[in-house]
Amino acid sequence: MNLSKYSEERVTWLCKILLVISTSCSIPSSCLGNNDVLSVGNLPDNMLLGCAKKQTNVKGSNSECSLEKPMDCAEIMEMYNSTRSGAFHIYPRSRVSKGLMQVYCDMEDDGGGWTVLQRRGDFDSAEDYFFRDWLNYKNGFGDLQKDFWIGNDAIFALTNQRLNLVKFVLTDWESNTTYATYDKFWIDDEEHNYTLHAQGYRGTAGDSFSKKNGMAFTTKDRDNDNYPKNCAVACKGAWWYTGCHASNLNGYYLKGPHETHADGVNWRDFRGYKYSLKDTIIKIRP
């Protein structure tokens, strides 16, 4: 359908038809992905012409669908006033053409609207599940409901569309939870090795991240750190290493105290170099 052939009256009529479809909770099933994932990717763009400001919610089957395309979890919350955490589809509008992206949204912590970049927990993954190569970290891996890394290309897309803060939520095996936030956070693209920009620490965990500002990302097969050897190999992870680290949230999942040095899920200023944390979440919000 070419809406350029339609008069303003017909565009308005089309919008009304779409509104009727939506409010009757009979939006096409293609609007939803697996597990009630929000998606409007299958609604043709020409159907959206003239309707961009008509935010239409669908209540039913624990799902919501809109004629607009949210660029992050904060915009999903703003558009739908949603308080349900879970997997959603978003459409980052940064200078990289990422298109449709599936993410996990935390709509509960500290006002909600968080897009989760990484999660680790006691999900029965192998201890070396995060000890992966450059391509894996570029594209992302894991299960959004369990352990995952969203992918460095995705982090670049998300953090270059508007200014974000990042929050690290860390929990040890004794159920003590702490956090660290950085008021400004973004990374560069792959051509620049996903160089980190982070500043403005606040929180209770201690600042074990800001010294990585300006560092490129390192994996076991791509050494960009300042160490004579490869920090990712030495510390069994992948991270913005210096020479080597004060945090290592993609290290081996060693479940509490460990004899080896700095190769677990470590945050130096919380539990030190020989204690591997139980749960970690990294998430961003404007």
Contact 90, 74 (CB under 8 A): no
- What's the Cα-to-Cα distance from 132 to each of 41, 87, 128, 220, rounded to whole Å? 31, 24, 8, 7
Contact 265, 253 (CB under 8 A): yes
Helices (H), the chain: 8-23, 45-48, 73-80, 134-139, 152-159, 231-235, 268-271
Beta bridge mates, 223: none
Beta bridge mates, 256: 276
Percent pLDDT > 70 in the chain is 75
Residue 32 carries which DSSP code?
B
Q: Give the confidence band of 97 by pLDDT, cuts at 50, 70, 90.
A: low
In whole angstroms, what is the distance from residue 123 CA to residue 118 CA?
14
Q: Which two tokens stand for residue 51?
A: 């309707």
Contact 240, 210 (CB under 8 A): no
72-285: which CATH number, 3.30.70.260, 3.40.50.620, 3.40.50.2000, 3.90.215.10? 3.90.215.10
Confidence check: pLDDT of 166 > 50: yes
What does the domain layout of the chain look like in residue ranges? Answer: 72-285
Dihedral angle of Cα 261, 265, 266, 267, to the nearest 10 degrees: 170
Cα Rg of the chain, angstroms:
21
Backbone φ and ψ for 139, nearest 5 degrees, come out as -90, -20
pTM value is: 0.78
Q: Residue 81 has what pLDDT?
A: 87
Q: CA 63, 69, 75: angle at the middle one, nearest 5?
A: 80
Contact 93, 265 (CB under 8 A): no
What does the pLDDT look like over 62-95, one tens digit per residue? 344 445 789 999 999 999 888 899 999 999 986 5
Q: Residue 99 has what pLDDT?
A: 72
Q: Residue 63 has what pLDDT?
A: 41
In whole angstroms, what is the distance from residue 83 CA to residue 81 CA?
7
Q: Residue 68 has what pLDDT?
A: 72
Q: Residue 102 has what pLDDT?
A: 95
Contact 90, 70 (CB under 8 A): yes
Confidence check: pLDDT of 60 > 60: no
